[in-house]
Each structure stands twice: as C-alpha cells, then as structure tokens.
C-alpha cells in the first residue's frame, strides 16, 4: 500500500503541532498540506511557527517548508484525509465542508462528537463503532476522539464495563495547562494556584464515556447508561491530566480481578500492530504514590494510560488514579491511532 | 481577667510558627515558653529560627529573645495552657505528660484526636463537645482540632447536616505543600507535578468529620454516622487546601436553601466575639471559577471557609468546592480559636 | 486641605487595580472616575472586573459602583489629577490630552519617561527634579516613575552614587509574571521555565537610572553618566522582581560604609511623613540567602527595597541582591508616593 | 575491544541515577557493581529505589537485580573503572581508596577537582589535559568534571578564549532544583520563589573555568588567568541551568566571528565519534527569547550546550545566554563522555 496524502487543519495550534510531530516519517501517511488561519496563509510553516512552536524538539524538517493554506478543500488538493485540531469556533463548518468534498476527517474537536453516526472513537475501546460510518451521508466520513480528560478514564473503565458492568462513576480531574492550548491559561491565574473550573469540561466528561462505551445495534450507536459526576480542575502542570476515579460496579469484583482485567486489556490497535499502538494500553504502577505526570507521562511513548492506587471505596466499590498524556493519548495521538486503524482496515 | 501564660510546644515547626505569629499581642494569652527539641534548647528563639522562619513577616519581637526549652512540664513553670504543634512521633507522650501535670493542651497533632472524651473541636461546629472534658481523668484537659484538609469541609457540612441530614460524602483534595511542614515535600517531587497520595490523610478525612459532627449523649460524644470517601492529592500550591465535595442529603434541599444555610451559619465564636473569630465563618463566592488559593486565602483573615460552585450532582445531590487556609484555619488558627473559646467560657 | 479628586486611567489593568487598592481611604485623594477601554465604558467597575480582578483582596467597595468611562478629559470632569496605568500603545496620546486639559498626570507608562522636563521620579531619590515642572508647556504637568525592574536598583544605587560615585553597573533581573500585566505571560511559556528575554526591558534598565540619578542644572535635568549593562529574565514568580547587581564605585568604600549608606538613607517622603512612605526605604537582610520574593515582599507594606548579600566582586567592587515589589514599589505605589509628594509640596 | 567492567559509586543519588540510565546498553562499559550507603547495601537496586527513582523512565532492567554494596574496592572486584556521583562529604576518601586500589575514578564530585595533576575535564574543551595523568602517583587515575553550572559556560568560552582571548567574565545563573540532588531543595523554599544563594557555587564558578581553559606545560596544568564574577541563583525549574554571560575579549571580535567560532567548534569527542558526543557541542538559537529549559533541554540528547541572544554589551564586549542540562551535560553525561574519551584513547 502506498502512503495516503493528508492535510493537517489547525496546524499552528497545540494539537496541530503534535500531529505534525507524530506524523514525521509515518509509514502510512504523508503530510502534503498544513492549514491555518488567513494570517498564516501564504507563508512557510517554519516562518509562521518561529515563535509559536512549543514542543521541546524542533519543527520536523518535512514541515518547515510547506506553504500554509487556509482550511478549504479546494486548497488541499490530493489530500484524502484531514487531521483536524481546529478551534471549536470553526471546526464544525470546516469539517463538514471537507466531508462533503469527499475527504475523511479525523477530528480532535468537540463539534461532531455527539452527532449521530459519528464515532467517538478510542481505538482500543470501540473500534466496532466504525461500522456505522456508511450511515454518514457524506462521501468523506467524520471520526472524532473524545475529550483529553476523559480519554484515559474511558480506557480504564472499558474492561470493567465489559466484565463487571458499571453502575456509577465519580471523577475528579487535575488538568494540565497545555489542555487549554496556547496562549491558553494566563500564568497569573495558575502559578502556585489551582482553578476549580474549566468551561464545558464537566459536561463533556459526564457524557462522552457513555458514547465510547456504547454498542452498535442495527447500525446505530446506543450509548451506555450509567450516571457520571465530574469535578474538573486546572493545576500548574504542563502536560498530563491526572484523574481520581470512584467506580460502582454491577457485579462485585476483587482487586485481583480488576488488576487482571486491566493488565490483559488489548484492542484492535495491538492486534493489528498499528505504528502508534502502545504494547500495553494500560500500565499499572505498584507504588503507593503513582501515577504522577513527572514520572509516568512517557509510558508507552505517551500512548499508554497509567493507573495506580486501586483500593476499596467506602462509598462505591473501588477507587483509583488514572494518568494520560493530554495532547498525545488525549488528542493528536488518539486521533492518529484512529486513522491508522482505518488505514489498516481499508476504510480510507 | 488577666492574661493566661502559655507555652508553645513544637515552636520551630510550621504550625508552631503560625502559633507564634497569631499569639502576638493576643488579648487573652501571654507566651512565656517556647519548646522544641534538644538541638534548639538553650538558645534564643531568634537564633534558632534565623534560617527556619518561613512566614513572610518577621519573627515577632516578643518571641525573639525567649530561650527555647524542651517540651517538659518542669521546664515551663507557670504555663497554664500549652499549644501543641508537635510532631506526631512525640506528641502523644508529651501531651499526656502535660495533662498529667495539670496543664491544658490545645493540640493540632493527630495523636489524641480519636481518643474518647477528647473533643475534636472546631469552635463553630461543636463547641458543645467541651461538656465532655470533666470525663477526662487528668487535671489538665486535652482538646484537639481536626486535620487541615477536613476542617473546611466539616464547616461546610455542619449547616447541611443540621438542616437536611447527610447520607454520604465524597471528597477530593488538592493540598498545599505547607501542609507537610518543613522541609516537607522535596521540590523535585512537586514542581510542575501532582502527587495523588498523602500518607494517612484519606483515613483521617474519612473519620474525623464524623466525630466533629457528633452529638453529646450522657456525657459522651457519639459520632455521626454516614460514609465518606476521600481522594487526597498534593499540588504545587504553597498555602491553601482546595477540596471538591459531592454530598448526598437525607432531606432534599434547593440551591437557595443550601446557600442560606451557609450564609446564616454562625457559631459560639461569633456570638462571643472571640478575637480570632471571622465575622462570617463561611463566605460564598458567586464567580464560576472560585474559590482559588491565590485569590481567596486571605478571606476573614484566613479564618473563613470559602465555598463556591454549588451545582447539582448527577450522582449525589449537590457538588461544590471548599477552600480553607491549611496552616491558619486548618491548624494554628483553629487551635487558638478553640483556646479563646475555652477562655471565654471560663474553662481555663 | 480637602481631598483632591482623581481619575484612574487604565483602571482595569494590573497597575490600575493596584492604584484602586492603594487609593482606598486615602487621606489626600478621592477617586471620582475610573477609565478604561470602550468595551468597559458604561458599566460599573464591579461588573467589568468580576472575572478580571486579580488581587487577593476584594475590589474596594468605593470602586464597585463607579461607572467606567473612556479616558478622555471631557469624561472625567472635576478630576484634578489622573493616575495612569495605561498601556503604552495609547498612553502617549491620552496623557498629552489630559495635560493639555490642565489635569496633572502621574504616569506609570513608559511613553513620557525620557521626554525633556518630565521628571522620572522616584520620590526618595530625586524629589528635586520636580523643580523642572514649570518648564513643561502644558498647564497639566506629567510626572512619570521608572520601570518596575529598575526602581529598586536605582534606590539601592542612590546613596552609593551620592557618597562614592559610580563608574559602572551590571545587573541581572529575575522578574515576576505580574510585571507583564494580564493575561500577559502564557502559563505554557513560564511554568517550570525561565525566559531570558523581555521586550524593551534591557533598554529601559540601561538608561532610566541615569535620568533618576541626574541633577537639575539651569532648570533642566542632566542625566548621570555611567554605563549600565542589563540582562533581563522572566521567572515563574507571581510578584517581586529580584535583581543581582555588580557595581564599580569611583571612590572605594568598605562594606560597613555601604551598609551605613543604605541604612541611613531617607528621602523627602520620610521627612514629610507621606502616607505611603515606608519608614525605611531600604531594608538590609543579614541572612545569606535573602532577599527572596516569598519572604521579603511585604517589607514596609511592599514599599521598601530589600537588599542582601553584599559581598566583594572579583571584577567590580561590590555585588548584592535587590528585591522590590514590582506592582507596588515598582509601579502603582511609586506613582502614588509621587502624587503624595506633590500634594504635600502644594504642587497640585 | 571487550567491554570494561565498571562500578557506579553513589548509585542512589541524582547523578548516580543518570549514570545508570546513560550506561544502559553502553558499547564500551558494563555495569557490574552499584554502590551506596550501608542502609542500601545487601538489597537489590530495584528494591532500594522503589520510591527514590526520580527519572521519568523506568529503572533499566540490567540494574534492577544488582545487589547494592558499599563503595569499597574490596566490594567491587573486577571493576576497572568507577563512576563517582558520591556526596562530597565522603567522595574524597572513597575516591582516593579506589585510586590506590588501581581503579580509575571518573568523578562528578568536587573534592579532587582542584588537586594538582587531576584533570578537570570537559572532553571537548581540554582533552589534552589527560597527558598529566602519569603524574598522579596512584595506579588508578582520578579524572573529574566541572560543576554543573559552569560546564556549559566553559564550553561557550572555549572557542572565544582560543581565538580572541578573554579579559573578564561576569555571569549570572538561574539553576534548576535537580542540581541540589534529592530531597534537596524543599518545595516551601522554591515554589513561586527564587533563592539568590547556593552555598559554595559562586566560588566554584569563579575558579573552575580557569583550570579547564588552562594549558599543559612541562606535564602540569597551568590555569588560565582572567577574573570571573558569578551570581548564582536557584529558580523553580526542574532540570536545566540557564546562565547569562557578559564577556570582555582581548582581541575585538564581530558578532559573525563569534557565531562562526561557536558553530565550527568541535573537539576530540566529535572526531573520535564517541557514543555520547553530540554532533554539535554548541547549538545557537536564532530566536530572540531562547534558549529556554522547556524548549531546548533535549538538544543533542541533552549533551549540547545551547546559546542564544548574542548582543553587544555596553560595559564589556558581548553578552549572551547559555543553557545546559545540569544532570546530563553538567554531570553524569559529561563524566561518561570523559570515560568514553579515555577508553577510545586506550587510557583505561
């Protein structure tokens, strides 16, 4: 199979930068177009990003000389697939335009996540949801991934949901500043401080896992049905969302059963050997004070979900801590893994 | 009434420093002795603390020239009361020795908190518990205050408990580094990081509120009876513990009823006009992103508990955020308020 | 003397907020107008600032209900004096308009600092420069204060300059994020990081002290004449600029002579007993690791300059560390002290 | 050539951990012994480090099962070379014991740095100093590397020293907390703060570069001779020391000449293709606000020195900013590069 030409929409943003980093020398995809706002159009990506590249490795050489265009299908001829890290204010319209033009959209934006027949895809969790794609009316299909905070939580819940059933989940997040993009959170707001509020975040955290954990019946996704309560907070951490979870199961499970459920969890990305798939989607840390962003964020090239502190909950059944890399596993990496899955399943 | 001579035990530690700051020019108490370990004994407090004073105002003049002694009743003649900020490793023994010697102990240490007939006192919450003191066998009485994390939470729960009853509480803390004392948390562990574990903290958070909210029957404290689940975390904040709370009530309450319960809450410290009593024990912030340590920690001279974000909880009834100053309201200030209460009630 | 009616220009910014805080219950001045951009005009200050007030005490009651106007002389009738915390992009024009309208301007903006006959006033350092005001052609006079970084440094240099003469100064700053205003520095740029560049800062640091330390001859300010080299850096500190200084003197001085020069330094604000004047403009810390923002920023109600670590310099003569509060002593507080000086000298 | 068996002394400390990480799968060296204090001896390294490993990748598998011993030659049979990350309190004695026992010591400790005939080796700077080794009386030779702060500065000075001569250097450091080891700097001291003092650091910074830049005459190292003044500061950064430098040259140089001197700088490590040698020992960043720890610390696998902001100095000739990774280029990596150099030159 030859490489698929792809465009990156929203290429100058935080998620766009991660797309560009992760797509360097990718075996399936060749970046042919980088799209951003009118201000950046017409200049090389290297010029545009001189002061805006915020990842601690240089801009990949392949991207430096690409001339940035605006995100319109007519400006990105030959691209069969577009990765979207667009701001929610424009993502809806642009992504629809691409789908209409026959270009598949792998989107990290929230706009289409809850739309019927649009998979909210976490490749290890609900690859089966790709079967609803034919029901989308456009020739280009839209696939989304979930919010950065809830991604790791949903992965941690998946094996528990399948094996024991879930009655209720309460979660509490401590989210990194990179989750708000750039310039994002002003330093005066977060240095030595915590902000117990992130606009729209709790709403997403309380609904998105239900779609991810849903099943396909008669060609439609039927959401899972249990209540979730979320408390979302911003903390002075650069990368890495840490989430405390309390879970009530339908069927009682022992500590060992849960640990085994997590350690044996694999999905299609692992079976198909996708390039970005971590060998272990879930890594459990035995230490009493882990996971921590500082120490555990690189696990599985930042694509593993790291769990620790499984212990009985006096109210529900169990409580534990989940960490995942918000701009990789929770955004660009998850989206790219979704695209790899589609490529390997000949859906592109 | 003349001033009562007092000793500060554990005077060099974080809580001890706060005692010394708050006792400057106090209308009821006169610090006559400062006690610390063998290493410090025999030197002036000013000399001992030259590099260890960590509060952003100078050592009060009155304390500079006091010669530090070890914490033994024979070394602190004339002190009728001792404030204890001792490390838990020695607090049990030392405090008992003082009580046996007829000196009252106002302790911030955990050792005696759950001992029968020892009030776990939060002056606005359970002043009535002082009635069990005669049951203590020693002539010196021991009064404790609760853990710094749970203090504000218990205050927030008290009016709800009285008016609506509580069925269950789940809480998630984001705790400041000063809560671990000095040197305490190594910077390599917490800079740009969160640590989802604090030894012994969740256990305390799950039991202490029940004693505080208990009632006195037949001269004994009967604990309240509802389950609490706690997730405790350390974050890179200097002072101020922020706690997210989900609460299930026995009797349904509207948002307005809860807000009114909080705003009208007063205790004996307010009625008696105690020097350290904040005019409002609970202050509610209307803004959607408050309370925050940076902005709200000084409220009521750091003696108020600041609450915000009251909203319905999809699982329980309500959720909200509580902030309190961990070394003032949650430790030295709470203890001093307890002492003021006893003074005013002629219990010293 | 009755109170002078004043307007605050740029009232919503960081410096504007400090003006409003410091002017609460001021004995000389009564705030009658608060001015900001078109977006804020017509609303009460309390409404405008609901999410923008960044000082850890509430908006003063007096300011809450003032209706914000745009900064034009016709919109602020009755104001005899205006405090300007305007952004440099508009400060030049607006301040000139006010001066033309006969309103005195006490400005923290950089625009007029180096203009001839405009004092760059640090009240303890160069009160004598007020004598050039008559040379300004407008009936309203413009008085500026220096850049926040260089303010404390200039105060530290003043007694050395007078007593020993200065041949050269090299300085290196570690500046707080509040110096960049709000939203200012993105958290992704500064969390756990240092940025060794602040636009325009080194240029100001290398010239402004020379004007402050200048003398008045024939009604004109003649700048001091020695070279300064500045390295300016941003660090993850909220408030407080720390500056390392190496100084070469014209006349050799002993450590004791320098220490005495600093401890005995007083200016007109102290002699006149101005409300905001710290009793000691310079406070020297004996500890080997001071001054530090955490511990020393409140000194003299944040109006003192705190110095430490005076030691021989292998290259120049002496080196030391200076700390001052950048939004109080280095901005709004300095400006207000300048206004108090003018009030007391009957120049308003 | 077969691999050389090596021991790591001080294996549990910050520098020791880096040695163990960098020695994984090393082509020249095989770690056979890990040495630490009595407390750790007799246990596997994996057990000892369970809560003390502070690098964000797991303990290398090869090290986990090695039984820790105390640092004595008799306990490390077969080791021909020892890497020392020992604390200065014991490094002197232990290193001498090893040298007497015929084991070469590659030390990061300060104890032997200024001893005659002990090279203070920075492999790209002064490989020629290895020629003095025969003058050491012991059969095991001691080779040291310089202080973490001054390492990058010395590399930046080397090509200037060779081409233009140096008359004077003034430097200001902003040092990461990892430079103080673990537990090292208490978080209460550095969170949101800067500490303008690091014990003994300025003394080292003012002398060590002179030895590194010295020349060998008659089998002895003759130090370079120019004055250095250093201001050393601790900032809330995890890894990476940033240093501002002002330099006065003997022979005037243009900006282009200096840039060329840096970009063309290579040393023996590059010529010999040593495993840890960065292809460019010096990397210059064109952006006006670089280098920064966040963005530039990984350059050359953290073995490059990153420079930026070269500009004229009003006092000296030029000023610029230097960044290097303090625990890799400034400590364990530098030491390992020194060992690689000796291996390749058949000095082991």
From D148, D212, D232, D325, the catalytic residue: D148
pLDDT of residue D56: 86
**Segment B154-197, tens digit of pLDDT:** 999 999 999 999 999 999 999 999 999 999 999 999 999 999 99
CB B206 within 8 A of CB B230: yes
pLDDT value for A134: 96
Distance from CA of D52 to the nearest CA of C (A): 21
Q: Phi/psi of residue D140, each to 5°?
A: -85, 135
Averaged pLDDT for residues A3-30: 97
Interface check D288 vs C, CB under 8 A: yes
User: Which residue out of B33, B112, B129, B241 is catalytically annotated?
Assistant: B241
Instruction: Give me the CATH number covering residue B271.
Output: 3.30.360.10
Is pLDDT at A243 greater than 90 in this prediction?
yes
Burial class of residue D139 in the structure, from the number of CB atoms within 10 Å of its CB (0-12 exposed, 13-18 middle, 19+ buried):
exposed
Radius of gyration of chain A (CA): 19
* Sequence-ordered list of residues with C-beta below 8 angstroms from that of B75, at least 6 positions apart, any chain: B33, B35, B69
Which residues contact residue A211 at a Cβ distance below 8 angstroms, ignoring those fewer than 6 apart? A113, A114, A120, A146, A221, A223, A224
- Beta carbons within 10 angstroms of residue C77's beta carbon: 10
Per-residue pLDDT at D140 exceeds 80: yes
Give the neighbours of chain A: at least 3 Cβ pairs within 8 Å.
Answer: B, C, D
Task: Tell me, yes or no, whether B155 and B143 share the same domain.
Answer: no
As a whole number, mean pLDDT of residues D263-290 equals: 97
Does B136 have pLDDT greater than 80?
Answer: yes
Q: Which 3 state secondary structure label does DSSP give C129? A: helix
Q: How many CB atoms lie within 10 A of CB A334?
A: 29
Q: What is the mean pLDDT of chain D?
A: 97
CB contact under 8 A, A51 and D289: yes
> pLDDT-based confidence at B51, cuts 50/70/90?
confident
Q: What are the tokens at C133?
A: 């005001």
Query: What whole-number distance in Å separates Cα of residue A250 and Cα of residue A167?
Result: 6
Return the closest-CA partner of residue B324 out of B261, B278, B269, B268: B278
Q: Same domain for D337 and D312?
A: no
Tokens 């805080």 appear where?
Answer: C21
Question: Helices D148-163 and D201-212 sit at what angle, rounded to 10 degrees?
Answer: 40
Report the residue of chain A nearest D193, measured CA to CA. Answer: A192
Q: Which residue of B has its CA nearest to C293?
A: B56
Report the residue from C186, C191, C238 with minimal CB separation from A182: C186
**Could you say which of C50, C57, C287 has the minimum Cβ distance to residue B298?**
C57
Tell me: do C122 and C165 sit in the same domain. no
B341 and chain D in contact, CB less than 8 A: no
* Cα separation, C239 vs C232, whole angstroms: 16
The CA distance from A113 to A121, in Å, is: 9
**Statement to judge: residues B67 and B204 lie in one domain:** no
The single-letter DSSP state of residue B274 is: -
Instruction: Give yes or no for residue A56 having a pLDDT over 90.
Output: no
Q: Which residues of A are catalytic?
A: 148, 241
**C-beta of residue C240 within 8 angstroms of C-beta of residue C325:** yes
Indicate the DSSP class of residue C119: -
Which residue, among B14, B56, B238, would best test binding to C if mutated, counting the most C CBs under 10 Å from its CB?
B56
Q: Do residues D156 and D143 both lie within one domain?
A: no
d(CA C43, CA C47) in angstroms, rounded, equals 7
Residues D117 and D203 in one domain: no
Confidence tier at B344 by pLDDT (50, 70, 90): very high
Q: Is B314 on the interface with A (CB under 8 A)?
A: yes
Find the mean pLDDT for residues A289-307. 97
Active site residue B148: yes
- Judge contact between B328 and A228, C-beta under 8 A: no
Cα A108 to Cα A136, A176, B6, C131, D55, distances in angstroms: 18, 17, 62, 64, 31
Q: Say how far apart CA A217 and CA A225 lie, in whole Å.
A: 15
Residues C56 and C197 in one domain: no
Which region holds residue C219: left if phi is over 0, alpha if psi is between -120 and 50, else beta? left
Mean pLDDT of B48-55: 90
| Domains in chain D, number | 2
Q: Would you say residue A249 has pLDDT above 80?
A: yes
Instruction: Flag whether pLDDT at B1 surpasses 80.
Output: no
Taking CB atoms and an 8 Å limit, are D295 and A192 in contact across chains? no
CA A175 to chain centre: 14
- Confidence at residue C246, expressed as pLDDT on a 0 to 100 scale: 98
| Residue of chain A whose Cα is closest to the Cα of C192 | A238
Distance CA A231, CA B65 (A): 49
> C188 in contact with B at a CB cutoff of 8 Å?
no
Mean pLDDT estimate for chain B: 97
| C37 pLDDT more than 90 | yes
Residues of chain B with C-beta less than 8 angstroms from the C-beta of D188: 54, 177-178, 182-185, 238
- Indicate whether A169 and A308 sit together in one domain: yes
ipTM: 0.95
Q: What share of chain A in percent tops pLDDT 70? A: 100
D190 neighbourhood in chain B, CB within 8 Å = 187, 191
User: What are the residues whose beta carbons fall under 8 Å from the beta carbon of D172, sequence distance 6 or more?
Assistant: C172, C231, C244, D230, D231, D232, D233, D243, D244
| Nearest CB to A287; choose among D51, D54, D55 | D51
Q: Of C33, C112, C241, C325, which one is the catalytic site residue?
A: C241
Q: Band the pLDDT of D156: cuts 50, 70, 90.
A: very high
- On the question of pLDDT at A1 being above 70, the answer is no
Which contiguous run of DSSP H or E holds residue C311? strand C305-312
Average pLDDT over residues B228-246: 98
Least reliable range by pLDDT among A314-318, C53-57, C300-304, D112-116: C53-57
C61 touches chain A (CB under 8 A): no
Q: Chain A residues with CB inside 8 Å of B235's CB?
A: 174, 194, 235-236
State what percent of residues in chain A have pLDDT above 90. Answer: 97
Of the candidates A57, A191, A294, the beta carbon closest to that of D192 is on: A191
CATH of the domain at B47: 3.40.50.720
- Cβ of C188 within 8 Å of Cβ of A236? The answer is no
Cα(A204)–Cα(A181) distance, integer angstroms? 17
**Shortest Cα distance from A114 to chain D (angstroms)?**
36
**Predicted local confidence at residue B258, as pLDDT:** 98
Whether residue D189 is found in the same domain as residue D109: no
Q: Please give the pLDDT value at position C1.
A: 65
| Chain D hits for C246, Cβ within 8 Å | 170, 229, 231
Q: Hey, is A25 helix, strand or coil?
A: coil
Helix (H) or strand (E) holding C318: strand C318-324
Range of D12's domain? 4-147+331-345
Q: Is the pLDDT of residue B55 over 70?
A: yes
As to burial, measured by CB atoms within 10 angstroms (0-12 exposed, 13-18 middle, 19+ buried), residue B169 is: buried
Do residues C213 and C285 share a domain? yes
Strand B104-107 to strand B81-84: parallel, antiparallel, or no bridges (unpaired)? parallel
Q: For residues A95-122, give the mean pLDDT.
A: 96
Query: Which helix (H) or strand (E) segment is B215 a member of?
Result: strand B215-217
B221 plus B312 within the same structural domain: yes
B231–A206: do the CB atoms touch at under 8 Å?
Answer: no
Q: Cis check for the bond before D170: say yes or no (omega within 30 of 0).
A: no
The neighbouring-strand residues paired with C31 are C6
Judgement on whether residues A143 and A153 belong to the same structural domain of the protein? no
Tokens at A140, concatenated? 């280009």
Whole-angstrom distance, CA of residue A234 vs CA of residue D4:
50
Helix (H) or strand (E) holding B285: strand B282-285
**Contact yes or no for A193 and B293 at CB 8 A:** yes
Q: Is the pLDDT of residue D1 over 90?
A: no
Distance CA C243, CA C153 (A): 7
Query: Is C35 a known active-site residue?
Result: no
CA-closest candidate to residue A340, choices A69, A76, A130? A130
Q: Which string of DSSP letters, residue by residue, matches A283-334?
A: EEE-STT---HHHHTTTTTTTSEEEEEEEE-SSSSEEEEEEE-TTIIIIIHH
Q: What CA–CA distance (Å, rounded) separates D32 from D295?
A: 36
- Per residue in D200-221, pLDDT (tens digit) is 999 999 999 999 999 999 999 9
Min Cα distance C264 → chain D (Å) is: 25
CA distance D238 to chain B (A): 7
Residue B310: Cβ-neighbour burial (10 angstroms; 0-12, 13-18, 19+): middle
CA distance A175 to B167: 30
Cα Rg of chain B (Å, integer): 19
Q: How far apart are CA C82 and CA C33, in angstroms?
A: 9
Q: What is the CB-side half-sphere exposure of residue D264 using CA atoms within 13 A? A: 10
Choose the closest CB to A50 out of D55, D287, D296: D287
A180 contacts chain B (CB < 8 A):
no
Which residue of A191, A287, A294 is in closest CB contact with D50? Answer: A287
């Amino acid at each position: 199979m030859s490489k698929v030409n792809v465009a990156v929409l929203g290429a100058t943003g935080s998620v766009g930068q991660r797309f560009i980093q992760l797509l360097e020398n990718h075996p399936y995809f060749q970046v042919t177009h980088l799209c951003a706002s009118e201000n950046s159009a017409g200049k090389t990506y290297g010029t545009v990003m001189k002061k805006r590249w915020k990842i601690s490795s240089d801009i990949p050489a392949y991207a430096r000389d690409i001339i940035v265009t605006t995100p319109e299908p007519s400006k990105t001829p030959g691209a069969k697939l577009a990765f979207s890290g667009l701001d929610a204010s424009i993502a809806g319209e642009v992504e629809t335009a691409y789908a209409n033009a026959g270009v598949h959209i792998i989107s990290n934006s929230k706009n289409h996540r809850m739309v019927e027949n649009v998979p909210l895809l976490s490749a290890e969790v609900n690859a089966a949801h790709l079967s609803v794609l034919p029901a989308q009316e456009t020739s280009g299909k839209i696939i989304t991934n979930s919010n950065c905070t809830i991604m790791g939580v949903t992965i941690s819940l998946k094996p528990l949901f399948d094996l024991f059933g879930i009655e209720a989940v309460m979660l509490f997040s401590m989210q990194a500043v990179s989750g708000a993009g750039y310039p994002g959170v002003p330093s005066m707001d977060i240095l030595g401080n915590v902000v117990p509020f992130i606009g729209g975040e709790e709403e997403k955290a309380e609904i998105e896992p239900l779609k991810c954990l849903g099943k396909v019946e008669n060609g439609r996704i039927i959401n899972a049905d249990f209540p979730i309560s979320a408390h979302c907070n911003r903390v002075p951490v650069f990368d890495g969302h840490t989430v405390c979870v309390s879970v009530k199961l339908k069927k009682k499970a022992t500590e060992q059963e849960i640990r085994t459920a997590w350690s044996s969890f694999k999905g299609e990305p692992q079976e198909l050997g996708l390039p970005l798939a971590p060998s272990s989607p879930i890594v459990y840390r035995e230490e009493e004070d882990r996971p921590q962003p500082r120490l555990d964020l690189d696990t599985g090239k930042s694509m593993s979900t790291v769990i620790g502190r499984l212990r009985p909950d006096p109210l529900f059944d169990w409580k534990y801590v989940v960490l995942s890399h918000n701009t990789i596993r929770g955004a660009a990496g998850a989206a790219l893994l979704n695209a790899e899955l589609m490529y390997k399943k000949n859906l592109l």
